[in-house]
């Protein structure tokens, strides 16, 4: 599962890393992105030579939904079954996106309570999570753009925290993931399998074959509240006063 994540990156670096369309924009530092909030995602604009950055609401709202509230239950989609689910199958074929992140959170039961952990690539840097997006027409005839994050079975490094983790698309596979020409069942299965290890493997997904590439940091309870979105959310638990 992926229920919270971070994006703390300079706009110019993000544009260069992802080869985005248009001049670089300022990207607000986000230390605790939560469901139903707006956050940046990357996708192709029709007719554009390069992908662009847009803001969408986290929690996919299918085009046929009666109200937007359904999105709060669709923040994640299982990569193994997304092609069979009415809420996700069309988006998987036609509306794929990348969700830029610099880390994500999981909560581990410890001593009768859930302790938050921050998961980042060792050495820092950006990762791109596999996402799907949709557009929904509000009763006022306004368009709402929303997204979900695909998940898979956790790699061995993270199994002690949770049985699921976000699918991470490697830098080499980003263009192929966004290209809707790659929408055959075999093509999608290959993209997802190349970006995530099978159970028992020690190679972490999407990080160029490096081993033991995740850094886990135990945090204070501050990050557990969606009201908090500041650098203090990332403070190690041992630094708490």
Pick the closest to residue 102 from 231, 1, 5, 235 (CA basis).
Answer: 5
**DSSP for residue 132:** E
Residues sharing a CB contact under 8 Å with residue 84, sequence separation 6 or more, in sequence order: none
Residues sharing a CB contact under 8 Å with residue 189, sequence separation 6 or more, in sequence order: none
The catalytic position among 16, 25, 106, 142 is 106
155 flagged as catalytic? no
d(CA 227, CA 185): 40
d(CA 161, CA 143): 37
Pick the closest to residue 32 from 171, 203, 230 (CA basis).
Answer: 230
Pick the closest to residue 165 from 119, 229, 114, 108 (CA basis).
Answer: 119
The catalytic position among 2, 97, 155, 233 is 2
d(CA 198, CA 124): 24
Pick the closest to residue 152 from 191, 208, 118 (CA basis).
Answer: 191
Pick the closest to residue 225 from 146, 121, 114, 127 (CA basis).
Answer: 114
Strands 76-78 and 143-153: parallel
2 flagged as catalytic? yes
Q: Which tokens go with 174?
A: 């980003």
Pick the closest to residue 149 from 109, 196, 197 (CA basis).
Answer: 196
Q: State the catalytic residues.
A: 2, 106
């Amino acid at each position: 599962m992926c229920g919270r994540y971070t994006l703390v990156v300079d706009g110019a670096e993000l544009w260069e890393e992802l080869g985005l369309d248009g001049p670089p924009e300022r990207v607000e530092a986000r230390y605790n992105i939560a469901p139903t909030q707006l956050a940046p995602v990357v996708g192709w604009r029709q007719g554009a030579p390069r992908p662009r950055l847009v803001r969408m609401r986290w929690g996919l709202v299918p085009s046929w939904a009666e109200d937007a509230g359904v999105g709060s239950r669709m923040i994640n989609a299982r990569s193994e079954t997304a092609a069979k689910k009415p809420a996700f199958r069309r988006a998987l074929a036609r509306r794929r996106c990348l969700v830029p992140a610099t880390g994500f959170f999981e909560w581990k039961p410890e001593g009768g309570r859930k302790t938050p952990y921050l998961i980042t690539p060792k050495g820092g840097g950006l990762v791109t999570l596999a996402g799907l997006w949709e557009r929904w027409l509000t009763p006022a005839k306004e368009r709402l753009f929303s997204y979900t994050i695909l998940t898979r079975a956790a790699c061995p490094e993270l199994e002690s925290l949770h049985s699921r983790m976000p699918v991470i698309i490697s830098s080499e596979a980003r263009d192929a993931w966004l290209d809707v020409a790659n929408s055959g069942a075999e093509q999608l299965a290959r993209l997802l399998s190349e970006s995530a290890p099978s159970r028992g493997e020690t190679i972490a997904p999407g990080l160029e074959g490096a081993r033991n590439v995740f850094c886990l940091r135990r945090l204070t309870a501050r990050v557990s509240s969606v009201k908090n979105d500041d650098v203090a959310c990332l403070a190690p638990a041992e630094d708490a006063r």
